Amino acid sequence: MLKSKTFLKKTRAGGVMKIVREHYLRDDIGCGAPGCMACGGAHEGPVLESQPQDPASSLCPWPHYLMPDTNVLLHQIDVLEDPAIRNVIVLQTVLQEVRNRSAPVYKRIRDVTNNQEKHFYTFTNEHHRETYVEQKQGENANDRNDRAIRVAAKWYNEHLKKMSAENQLQVIFITNDRKNKEKAVEEGIPAFTCEEYVKSLTANPELIDRLACLSEEGNEIESGKIIFSEHLPLSKLQQGIKSGTYLQGTFRASRENYLEATVWIHGDTEENKEILLQGLKHLNRAIHEDIVAVELLSKSQWVAPSSVVLHDEGQNEDVEKEEERERMLKAAVNEKMLKPTGRVVGIIKRNWRPYCGMLSKSDIKESRRHLFTPADRRIPRIRIETRQASTLEGRRIIVAIDGWPRNSRYPNGHFVKNLGEVGEKETETEVLLLEHDVPHQPFSQAVLSFLPKMPWSITEKDMKNREDLRHLCVCSVDPPGCTDIDDALHCRELENGNLEVGVHIADVSHFIRPGNALDQESARRGTTVYLCEKRIDMVPELLSSNLCSLRCNVDRLAFSCIWEMNHSAEILKTRFTKSVINSRASLTYAEAQMKIDSATMNDAITTSLRRLNKLAKILKKGRIEKGALTLSSPEVRFHMDSETHDPIDLQTKELRETNSMVEEFMLLANISVAKKIHEEFSEHALLRKHPAPPPSNYEILVKAAKSKNLEIKTDTAKSLAESLDRAESPTFPYLNTLLRILATRCMMQAVYFCSGMDNDFHHYGLASPIYTHFTSPIRRYADIIVHRLLAVAIGADCTYPDLTDKHKLADICKNLNFRHKMAQYAQRASVAFHTQLFFKSKGIVSEEAYILFVRKNAIVVLIPKYGLEGTVFFEEKDRPKPRLIYDDEVPSLKIEDTVFHIFDKVKVKIMLDSSNLQHQKIRMSLIEPQIPGIGIPTDISNTDLDEPERKPLR
């Protein structure tokens, strides 16, 4: 049966276009009940159980299926995902509405419907002849959809009666809409609210905790004093943004101060790019990563970013105390320090996610209301109701936010999942992966189905458009224990006396074809994440550690970049080719270094390595002369106990000449490929740039150097590199490393971008006019796209539509930049956690440290031996406050009669503080210089589980 809808649409040119949409109605759509004779098994995919074995409900003790409406699906997805809830009919009407309103919930519901054990059935009611309803005149879309759901529920109940006379099967309609429920009951449909139904499942009381509390009025604190101003409706916000009264941006909460945040304004305007917010009322219930509308305050109300470190300690409901703390932030400051300041007037889009953390159990006996403290300090505490408080104490749990009423100090939420005991390695690893949004579920069957069948070997078809380079003396140099070997090198002398140098990269794009499930999953993951004891692969292990890995003594497919160079490392010719190689050796950096240094070794591999090393030194010298920066970042390596896998030693990483040798040729290959793909695809080359930092970023570095009578010039990368080289102190050899560490903190983040969407290609840190990533396709998706572009450029592979769509490429870049940033933070969090494990077994340790930053009430120090950073606080709870004088110009901090400057050497005591299970942390206290009443262990260090501070480990 065919229905058609006709409507008129105005075109851009002002004309009117008539559009006719055809809508097919069918009789052969199955109801999903296996025993149904009427449908004759016309079901596809997972089906309902013929006799539902669901937990007994006191409201409906007979066997039944559930049919939720759109709002139940959107807001109670945590309940529906619970193993106790099965046999649910998801209507097409509901699914379409969910898809339009929330992509994350839509994905979750698709995952549930694909799970055979859950018995969720998708019923295409919009195309079923008996359940399709047309919109009545004067009826809005929402009311029409509500009616369509009721019609489907009624049809199901009548349809199931036909299965057999004694069959008591019923469909229960679940809705939180009071009017919709009343209409359903009038029409003879069994209907309950989600809360009524869940509370009726007496065998599963824990399900009640997972209910989202939606009526804000009912969940506001009884004492109900209005704290926050009302959020303006979206229509007013959009008008205000259009007229310039309000600005739209992303809300970024501060990790160090819960009463402060910044809003990054969307758009190209340089003026007021970042707006500062201070105080609870100005933050106005915005949560980290929300898209908000802000009103700029008058210049007389502008404030400076606070140097006070302030964490929300204790179950503080006292708003007057908060206001007292806010006044403390507004100390007298230099006018130059004032930043554009504003207040949140409304929320454009909430970007809430499930949060990991711990329960702070209420002191009130038998209370069901408790506060949840997230692991991420940027997220406020969340009030939840739970009957399991005693069980959940001391465990990591997941909580979702439901809303934030105007008269509540904290948002309301509900319990989602218990992750496990706090401090356990598996639990904490799960927490840091979830908190940094690292996709880490096992690869699905759909993804694995696109892997090559084993045993695999190179075929004649594979050799098409490919050069056989198996005769070359190729070897790889990597960190110890590396199994995902992306790159290998060779160097040989040519008959004309010149040198041929080859960089051979794993040909991952041969195995991962555009658009299939394997490609989509790799694109979603974006990068491999290296934790201290675990690797979260971007591609399945069969590829990462076997078929793509350039292991020695096996034939492997590669993408080769080959140069002809003279002995002065000048490039005479460059060519690219798909190839087959057979690596002669897989070496570690130490093994390669040993070969180069050995007087007795002169085999082909050693000769090749020596030539490569010699050329690399010339290349590096040339790069540095052009202004490339050599920065520093303390990188640590853990030595693990072979049985317990706990860290038994912690050292900073040693870098050898061979590290630099490999790096130089990888950089050269990346630059050569960037030039080639940009020549060929000027509008849609995937490139990587490193923006020059704004001059204000360098203020701290210049001031710190000046305090040691050194001058750092920052007008160009070359002048910065040269002044860093000159900044030496014979009496203080570590000073230069400290300056380079501080210079690293001044840098901007390098990002991927599409050449057709940007004009500035320059890579500041490498002093290169163009750059991309080509050399690590096993662990970076960007490199796979670059391989595809290069393959098309040299005629080795065919193109596909998305490869030449700059908007699609820009979207890929956006996801890759996010995934890379999150991977970096997750790696740092993993280092922080393993550092805690190390000091847990080590006890109290005293070490020399250097001051990296001075704050109003603390100093941030770096301990070179461990590459560890932490904060020493000088204000203790319940102790007399010392006399503190902070000078931002120098910068310095005077405590009683002792003055601290950046780079001063101090001695600190390090220990693990487990007193607060919410955030176990490394605690640091000052030993030298001694200050009367100060050298007591302090309370907080920024080596927190969620603190991204140090460079990630490979």
pLDDT classification of 294: cutoffs 50, 70, 90? very high
Mean pLDDT of the region 31-51: 72
Please say if the pLDDT value at position 426 is more than 70: yes
Angle at CA 770, nearest 5°, toward 764 and 771? Answer: 85
The values of phi and psi at residue 572, to 5°, are -100, -35
Question: For the ranges 6-15, 93-102, 237-246, 387-396, which has the lowest average pLDDT?
Answer: 6-15
- Mind listing the pLDDT tens digit for each residue in 55-96? 677 888 888 899 999 999 988 888 898 888 888 999 999 999
The candidate with the shortest Cα–Cα distance to 929, out of 862, 851, 870, is 851
Do 804 and 685 meet the contact criterion of CB atoms below 8 Å apart? no
DSSP structure string for 104-158: HHHHHHHHHHT-GGG-EEEE-GGGBTTT--PPPTT--HHHHHHHHHHHHHHHHHH
Mean pLDDT of the region 665-676: 95
Candidate ranges 140-154, 910-924, 927-941; pick with highest mean pLDDT: 140-154
Question: For the ranges 673-687, 716-730, 790-804, 907-921, which has the lowest average pLDDT?
Answer: 907-921
Cβ neighbors of 62 (< 8 A, separation 6 or more) are: 168, 169, 170
Residue 561 confidence (pLDDT): 96
Residue 938 confidence (pLDDT): 40
Please say if the pLDDT value at position 937 is more than 50: no
Please say if the pLDDT value at position 872 is more than 60: yes
Residue 321 confidence (pLDDT): 60
HEC-encoded secondary structure of 464-531: CCCEECCCCCCEEEECCCCCCCCEEEEEEECCCCCEEEEEEEECHHHCCCCCCHHHHHHHHHCECEEC
- Mind listing the pLDDT tens digit for each residue in 770-816? 999 999 999 999 999 999 999 999 998 888 988 989 899 999 999 99
pLDDT classification of 737: cutoffs 50, 70, 90? confident
Mean pLDDT of the region 319-331: 60
How far apart are alpha carbons 25 and 328 in whole angstroms? 68
pLDDT classification of 769: cutoffs 50, 70, 90? very high
Q: Can you tell me which residue has the tokens 């994905």?
A: 107
pTM for this model (two decimals): 0.78
- Mind listing the pLDDT tens digit for each residue in 823-863? 998 988 888 888 888 887 777 888 888 888 888 888 888 88
Residue 632 confidence (pLDDT): 66
Q: Can you tell me which residue has the tokens 């006709």?
A: 6
3-state secondary structure of 638: strand
Please say if the pLDDT value at position 33 is more than 70: yes
Q: List the domains of the chain with CATH numbers.
A: 2-208 (3.40.50.1010), 212-417 (2.40.50.690), 423-692+748-841 (no CATH), 843-954 (2.40.50.140)
How far apart are alpha carbons 761 and 691 in whole angstroms? 9
Burial of 165 per CB tally in 10 Å (0-12, 13-18, 19+): exposed
Q: Can you tell me which residue has the tokens 């926050």?
A: 228
Q: HSE (CB half, 13 Å, CA atoms) of 653? A: 18
Classify each residue of 466-484 as buried b or exposed e, where b means 16 or more C-beta atoms within 10 Å of its C-beta. beebeebbbbbbbeeebeb
Residue 290 confidence (pLDDT): 92
Residue 678 confidence (pLDDT): 95
pLDDT classification of 323: cutoffs 50, 70, 90? low
Cβ neighbors of 297 (< 8 A, separation 6 or more) are: 341, 342, 343
- Mind listing the pLDDT tens digit for each residue in 595-634? 999 888 889 999 999 999 999 999 999 988 888 887 766 6
pLDDT classification of 942: cutoffs 50, 70, 90? very low
- Mind listing the pLDDT tens digit for each residue in 172-201? 999 998 899 999 999 999 999 998 898 888
Residue 39 confidence (pLDDT): 73
Residue 324 confidence (pLDDT): 62
Q: Please state, rounded to an integer, the average pLDDT across all residues of the chain.
A: 84
The candidate with the shortest Cα–Cα distance to 369, out of 215, 196, 221, is 221
Q: Residue 178 is encoded by which pair of tokens?
A: 């009071």
Helices and strands in the chain: count of H runs, count of E runs:
24, 38
pLDDT classification of 345: cutoffs 50, 70, 90? very high
Q: Can you tell me which residue has the tokens 């996709």?
A: 439
Residue 647 confidence (pLDDT): 62
Q: Residue 552 is encoded by which pair of tokens?
A: 């020695």
Termini Cα distance of the chain: 61
Residue 820 confidence (pLDDT): 94
Cα distances from 115 to residues 12, 220, 447, in angstroms, run 46, 37, 16
3-state secondary structure of 203: coil
Mean pLDDT of the region 502-515: 95
Please say if the pLDDT value at position 873 is more than 90: no
Residue 946 confidence (pLDDT): 33
Residue 44 confidence (pLDDT): 61
Range list of H helices, 571-698:
589-597, 604-626, 657-680
Question: In DSSP terms, which residues pair with 923 in a beta bridge?
Answer: 911
Q: Sheet of 921-928: strands edge to edge?
A: 868-873, 858-863, 845-854, 905-913, 921-928
For the chain, what's the residue count? 954
Residue 886 confidence (pLDDT): 79
The candidate with the shortest Cα–Cα distance to 837, out of 537, 636, 653, 536, is 636
How far apart are alpha carbons 346 and 294 in whole angstroms? 7
Cα distances from 813 to residues 251, 505, 525, 781, 892, in angstroms, run 22, 22, 12, 10, 41
Cβ neighbors of 193 (< 8 A, separation 6 or more) are: 174, 175, 176, 181
Residue 788 confidence (pLDDT): 95
How far apart are alpha carbons 573 and 676 in whole angstroms? 13
Please say if the pLDDT value at position 651 is more than 70: no
Candidate ranges 238-247, 258-267, 522-531, 718-727; pick with highest mean pLDDT: 522-531
Other CB atoms within 10 A of residue 488 CB? 28
Strands 191-192 and 170-174, sheet pairing: parallel
Please say if the pLDDT value at position 318 is more than 80: no
Question: For the ranges 218-232, 482-496, 787-801, which has the lowest average pLDDT?
Answer: 218-232
Q: What is the DSSP letter of 780?
A: B
Residue 22 confidence (pLDDT): 76
pLDDT classification of 933: cutoffs 50, 70, 90? low
pLDDT classification of 950: cutoffs 50, 70, 90? very low
Q: Residue 266 is encoded by which pair of tokens?
A: 């969307």
Cα distances from 300 to residues 261, 296, 340, 535, 828, in angstroms, run 19, 11, 10, 52, 40
Q: Can you tell me which residue has the tokens 């050796």?
A: 585
Cβ neighbors of 575 (< 8 A, separation 6 or more) are: 561, 562
DSSP structure string for 523-564: HHH-B-EE-SS-EE-SS-HIIIIIISS--BTSEEEEEEEEEE
Residue 859 confidence (pLDDT): 86
Do 320 and 267 meet the contact criterion of CB atoms below 8 Å apart? no
Biggest CA–CA distance in the chain, Å, is 97
Residue 928 confidence (pLDDT): 81
Residue 424 confidence (pLDDT): 83
The values of phi and psi at residue 500, to 5°, are -105, 125
Residue 947 confidence (pLDDT): 30
Please say if the pLDDT value at position 676 is more than 60: yes
Please say if the pLDDT value at position 716 is more than 90: no
Residue 252 confidence (pLDDT): 92
Q: Can you tell me which residue has the tokens 């002809």?
A: 564
Residue 953 confidence (pLDDT): 34
User: Is the backbone of residue 124 left (phi > 0), alpha (psi -120 to 50) or beta?
Assistant: beta
How far apart are alpha carbons 712 and 700 in whole angstroms? 11
